[in-house]
Amino acid sequence: MSAPRAAAPVAPVRQPRRRGVELSLLAAAVLIALFGYVNVGLAQDGRVPRGVLLYGPALCVPVVLAHLAVRWRAPYADPLLLPIAVLLNGMGLVLIHRLDLATPHERAGAPSQVIWSSLGMTLCVAVVVLLRDHRVLARYGYVSMAVALALLVVPIFFPAINGARIWIREGALSIQPGEFAKILLAVFFAAYLAANSNALAYTGRRVLWKVQLPTGRVLGPILLVWAMSIGVLVLETDLGTSLLFFGLFVVMLYVATGRRGWIAVGLMLAAAGAGVVGSLEPHVHSRVVDWLHPFASIRAGQGAGQLAEALFAFAAGGLLGTGLGRGHSILIGFAAKSDFIVATAGEELGLAGVTVLILLYALLVARGFRAGLAVRDAFGRLLAVGLATIVALQVFVIVGGVTDLIPLTGMAMPFLAQGGSSVVTNWIIVALLIRLSDSARAPGPLEAETGVIAMVRPSGGLEF
Amino acid sequence: MTRYIRHAAAFSLLLLIALLVNLTRIQVLDAPSYNANPANGRTTMSRYARARGDVYAGRTRLTGSVRTGGTLAWQRAYTAGPVFAPVTGYASQAYGTTLLENAGDPVLSGTDPALSAAPLWNAVTRRPVRGGRVVSTVDPAAQRAAYRALGVRTGAVAALDPSTGRILALVSTPSYDPAEVAGDGRGALAAWRRLTTDPRQPMLNRAIRQTYPPGSTFTVVTAAAALDSGAVTGPDAATDSPDPYTPPGTGDRLADRTPRCRDATVRYAFEAGCDTVFARLGVRVGLPGMVGAARAFGFDDPGTSIPSHVSESVFDTSMNDARLARSCVGQDDTRATPLQMAMVAAAVADGGTVMAPYLIDRETDATGRTVRTTRPRPLGRAMSGRTAAVLADLMAGAVTDGTGTGAAVPGARVGGTSGTARTGTGDRGTPYAWYVSWARPARAATAPVAVAVVVEDTAAARTGASGGGSAAPVARAVMKAALGGGG
């Protein structure tokens, strides 16, 4: 990064807060989710479900609390972030509830998802209220990394579930620690890169024509991260998380240094790692084979595989969908509520509905990047970019996977998919983006402070 | 850094756009091929998600639907399964559909575009169209009478309305209950195994899918050809036929057990059952003439459908005189379905015109609004009106004075002829008795029913007698029911 840009002058005009916009959008989001819930009931039983009287107000409580928290502690925050998250979370609950009805003999997913969502929103409120200044996080960069590594390593000691060692299961409760690691790694990357971007960009030996390698001291953490994502891939056979970490790091590295070489190096390393693991590791290899031949099991006379069923679900939805509660995406079977939830959206809401969902994510990501552009300190910028990238990559990896665009990897669709850890993590991401966007637009002492830091430390970094 | 953030943002959006492009490919461009994939369970699920429309015979409902409580919500039920099985066929979740259940499937399952008042609007709203009704031409009284009359014997009945070609009865025994194979569970599988391996072939629709040598009943065709071609001048003219008869160029000798067949008239030959007379006449008409006559009645047509496929009835088109002689009395390679022989009787009763037989009267939507009606369609003329009148007279004579007295119906003019046949080769095959007839109420101008009956009858083989004994009462029961029902 370059210091003068970071110290961009702030417009002296007082920014509008637009909390009223947020409130009305929140009301719309809640209403849409409730409408979906009623819709499912009407489609399945022909009458309005009685739960609407209970869930309606119940859903409003955390939403209103979150709104009040934002009003109180982050009055200049981007007014779109919270409503988008509420809408996606609400639609996720509707879809999970809809799939619960189709699988009466399984444990219902919606009730626990409601609890996790409430927990997520509570943590969101807590972050917004307690984290007054995001730069505090920069102090905990290496701590974050250590904790993230620990979280990633812990599940290795637990039994594999469905071919991947990414869960800690204790009774009915299962936690996916890798989800939380995402945020911690983004914090670490942002802090590390904000401090070392110049060293990465401009120092080091020139080994080949125009190719310049940074010094070992600076390069070390990068190699560590690379090794870590490969380790996750091999030990936990979790291709998705590995891809996410690596993609996240390459993007943040590029944003911090502006060096396209890093992208090339990153892509080559990723390709090499994925190539080796994809051909050697049986679990990952089978995913690659499925990706290339989704209908192989049909030709072999064994009926449609999971991926083929997902494609059938999308196709059955067509342009406008079958309507909520009227599809048969349950044919996908295992993981229909989690990894494949977007196929249900595709079948019942159609291309129109899925496009809306993807655009909502796009809007969320765009707002994240916008906060990244507007915030004044390098750490904040990189953190915002990292968080937005996490959302974008997650959506790409999982939707691309279930639509046969890339090999399918287990990954939760942010907010939509069943999975407590994921929903909590994404609410924290939204909380951090709210905090960052508030800092970006808020007038007051922050402004001067940011300028001072940028001037005192021309490297643009922060000490931690 | 701002520039690089913009690059990263652009990259992220590019990823999401790639998703949208791919989704458009799957959900719009490639959707038809995915939807048509046989491994896609949706086709079956949506098919059984609603109660299927019903098959009717007049006002009588022949089918129903019951909830299964399983993934495939509804399955077929039948009000009188075995009786109407040769009409309805079965609609099975596991084994597909046959007969009316198959021919009427688009209407019954609600996929027929004609059912929806606004097809385009329905395509948009995806509101499922309720299955419509298929109303068959079958007369329930005639159908039941035929089933009851056949009883435990193996046999088949086909009855027609001669002036329109409406099929009034299609019965095959032993029968089966299509409800047994309607589901897709273990019960249906067991029933399917049992029914398909049963040597008595209960699922065979003998009325339209089994051919038998028609025996002497085929002499109606031969007589029509002989009278129309001038091979004999009239029913009461001497036919100049020897008994026994040796066709030219062969050493084959045909002899009648019936007395006084030598040089008999067509009338006597018909009433008494002189095969030598018709063999002689057929050879005199010649192969092309006989083939032409048989085709005019509907033989040698592989495409007959009602709209379910009807097995082809055969009159061989190339043979020597010895075989032609035997073919003209319904032996050798001549084979006919009961429906075909009913068409022969109907042509006589309808003044020589052969009507295309049909089983679907009309199709309606769920509310009863008619969406399609079958119009009677003449297949052609099998003989002149005069010849038809002569044959009607001969057939009526056979009932009053000859081989078919068991078919007489009080208060109606009945014409009939009998025959015996053996399925299988040589003389070892199962013997069947035939009876082919029509009936006209005393004061009516047209005959409202023509019927063909074939019954397994070991006694017929022993005595060598005609089918009058065992098949005629079945024909009488059907005709009586058809006339009594108001025709």
Q: With beta carbons under 8 A apart, name residues in chain A contacting B121.
A: none
| Nearest CA distance, B128 vs chain A (angstrom) | 10
Q: Give strand pairing partners of B438.
A: B415, B450
Kindly report which listed range (A319-328, A453-462, B73-82, B291-300) carries the lowest average pLDDT score: A453-462
Pick from A256, A314, A373: which is nearest to B23 by CB?
A314
**Is A417 inside any structural domain?**
yes
- Please check whether residue A285 touches B, CB under 8 A: no
Q: With beta carbons under 8 A apart, name residues in chain B contacting A251.
A: 8, 11
> Helix, strand, or coil here: A418?
coil
Strands (E), A76-197: 168-170, 173-175
**Predicted confidence (pLDDT) at residue B149 exceeds the cutoff of 50:** yes
- Name the residue with tokens 């009058």: B468
Q: Which of A267, A349, A385, A397 to mutate to test the interface with B (most CBs of B within 10 A)?
A: A385
- CA R_g for chain B: 28
B371 close to B442: Cβ distance less than 8 angstroms? no
| Nearest CA distance, A77 vs chain B (angstrom) | 20
**Which one has a higher pLDDT value, B262 or B423?**
B262
Tokens standing for residue A377: 């300190």
B399 close to B178: Cβ distance less than 8 angstroms? no
**Is A388 inside any structural domain?**
yes
H-assigned helices in A258-305? 260-280, 282-292, 296-299
Domains identified in chain A, total number: 1
- CA R_g for chain A: 22
Question: How confident is residue B195, by pLDDT bands cut at 50, 70 and 90?
Answer: very high
According to DSSP, residue B245 is labeled: B
What is the structure's pLDDT at A174? 75
Tokens standing for residue A21: 């916009």
Concatenate the DSSP letters of all residues of B315-368 into one string.
--SS--HHHHHHHTTT-TT-BB-HHHHHHHHHHHHTTTEEEPPBSEEEEE-TTS
Q: Give strand pairing partners of A168.
A: A175
Q: What is the largest CA-CA distance in chain A?
A: 72
> How far, rounded to the nearest angstrom, does the alpha carbon of residue A149 sit from its chain's CA centroid?
18
A365 close to A251: Cβ distance less than 8 angstroms? no
Residue (of B357, B347, B427) closest to B388 by Cα position: B347
What is the structure's pLDDT at A171? 63
Residue B71: closest CA among chain A residues belongs to which residue?
A102
| Nearest CA distance, B33 vs chain A (angstrom) | 9
Q: Are strands B55-57 and B133-136 parallel, antiparallel or unpaired?
A: parallel
Which whole number is the average pLDDT over B219-241? 90
B477 close to B411: Cβ distance less than 8 angstroms? no
CATH code linked to domain B209-360+375-484? 3.40.710.10
Cβ within 8 Å of residue A264, ≥6 positions away:
none
What is the structure's pLDDT at A273? 75
Residue A373: closest CA among chain B residues belongs to which residue?
B2
Which of the residues in chain A have pLDDT under 70?
Answer: 1-14, 162-165, 170-173, 201-219, 222, 225-226, 229-230, 232-234, 444-464
Put simply, the chain A residues between 237 and 256 with a CB less than 8 A from any chain B CB are 251, 254-256
- Please check whether residue A328 touches B, CB under 8 A: yes
Q: With beta carbons under 8 A apart, name residues in chain A contacting B24.
A: 351
Kindly report which listed range (A39-48, A237-246, B189-198, B239-248) carries the lowest average pLDDT score: A237-246
Pick from A312, A361, A365: which is nearest to B37 by CB?
A312
d(CA A453, CA A464): 13
Q: Which helix (H) or strand (E) holds B157?
A: strand B155-160
A113 close to A52: Cβ distance less than 8 angstroms? no
**Is A279 inside any structural domain?**
yes
Pick from B3, B9, B38: which is nearest to A366 by CB?
B9
Other Cβ atoms within 10 Å of A7 Cβ, number: 18
Q: Which of A5, A369, A377 to mutate to test the interface with B (most CBs of B within 10 A)?
A: A369
According to DSSP, residue A451 is labeled: H
Q: Give strand pairing partners of B420.
A: B433
* Domain extent for A382: 3-9+16-456
Q: Is the dihedral of CA B13, B16, B18, B20 positive or negative?
A: negative
Q: How far is CA A30 from CA A68, A80, A82, B14, in A?
A: 16, 14, 11, 30
| Nearest CA distance, A190 vs chain B (angstrom) | 13
- Name the residue with tokens 């750490």: A379
Q: With beta carbons under 8 A apart, name residues in chain B contacting A261.
A: none
B23 vs A346: CB contact, 8 Å cut-off?
yes
Pick from A5, A304, A312: which is nearest to B1 by CB?
A5
Q: With beta carbons under 8 A apart, name residues in chain A contacting B31.
A: 314-316, 318
> How far, rounded to the nearest angstrom, does the alpha carbon of residue A458 sit from its chain's CA centroid?
32
| Nearest CA distance, B41 vs chain A (angstrom) | 8
Tokens standing for residue B100: 């009316």
**Predicted confidence (pLDDT) at residue B460 exceeds the cutoff of 60:** no
| Nearest CA distance, B22 vs chain A (angstrom) | 7
What is the structure's pLDDT at A201? 67
- Name the residue with tokens 């909380």: A431
Residue (of B205, B196, B209) closest to B85 by Cα position: B205
The one-letter code for the residue type at A265 is V
**Is A462 inside any structural domain?**
no
What is the structure's pLDDT at A449? 44
Tokens standing for residue B332: 């050798």
* pTM for the full predicted model: 0.72
Tokens standing for residue B184: 């897709």
Q: pLDDT tens digits, residue range B154-170? A: 999 999 999 999 999 99
Mean pLDDT (chain B, rounded): 89
**Is A36 inside any structural domain?**
yes
d(CA B380, CA A434): 85
Residue (of B300, B322, B328) closest to B216 by Cα position: B328
What is the structure's pLDDT at B468? 60
Answer whether the bond into residue B473 is a cis peptide, omega within 30°.
no
d(CA A264, CA A379): 24
H-assigned helices in B94-211? 99-103, 105-108, 119-125, 140-150, 186-197, 206-209
Tokens standing for residue B338: 């009961």
d(CA B32, CA B30): 6
Which whole number is the average pLDDT over B451-455? 95
d(CA A148, CA A127): 19
Looking at this predicted complex, what is its ipTM? 0.88
What is the structure's pLDDT at A444? 61
The one-letter code for the residue type at A411 is M
Q: With beta carbons under 8 A apart, name residues in chain B contacting A403.
A: 19, 22-23, 26
In the structure, how many helices (H) and strands (E) does chain A have?
A: 17, 4
Tokens standing for residue B260: 């006084």
Pick from A362, A373, A392: which is nearest to B2 by CB?
A373
B63 close to B88: Cβ distance less than 8 angstroms? yes
Cβ within 8 Å of residue A42, ≥6 positions away:
A48, A325
Residue (of A361, A11, A384) closest to B5 by Cα position: A384
Q: With beta carbons under 8 A apart, name residues in chain A contacting B40.
A: 304, 312, 316
B384 classed as catalytic: no
**Which one has a higher pLDDT value, A208 or B106?**
B106
**Which one has a higher pLDDT value, B5 or A109?**
B5
Q: With beta carbons under 8 A apart, name residues in chain B contacting A326.
A: 126
d(CA B222, CA B434): 17
d(CA B475, CA B482): 10
> What percent of chain B has pLDDT above 90?
63
Q: pLDDT tens digits, residue range B356-399? A: 999 999 999 999 999 999 999 999 999 999 999 999 999 998 88
d(CA A458, CA A4): 8
B7 close to A369: Cβ distance less than 8 angstroms? no
Q: Which of B92, B163, B175, B216 is catalytic?
A: B216
d(CA B178, CA A401): 45
Q: Which residues of B touch A (CB under 8 A)?
A: 1-9, 11-13, 15-16, 18-20, 22-24, 26-28, 30-35, 37-42, 45-46, 124, 126
Q: How many CA atoms lie within 13 A of B95 on its CB side?
A: 24
Count of pairs with CB atoms under 8 A, one residue in A, one in B: 150
A259 close to A215: Cβ distance less than 8 angstroms? no
Question: How confident is residue B46, by pLDDT bands cut at 50, 70 and 90?
Answer: confident
d(CA B328, CA B94): 45
d(CA B255, CA B241): 11
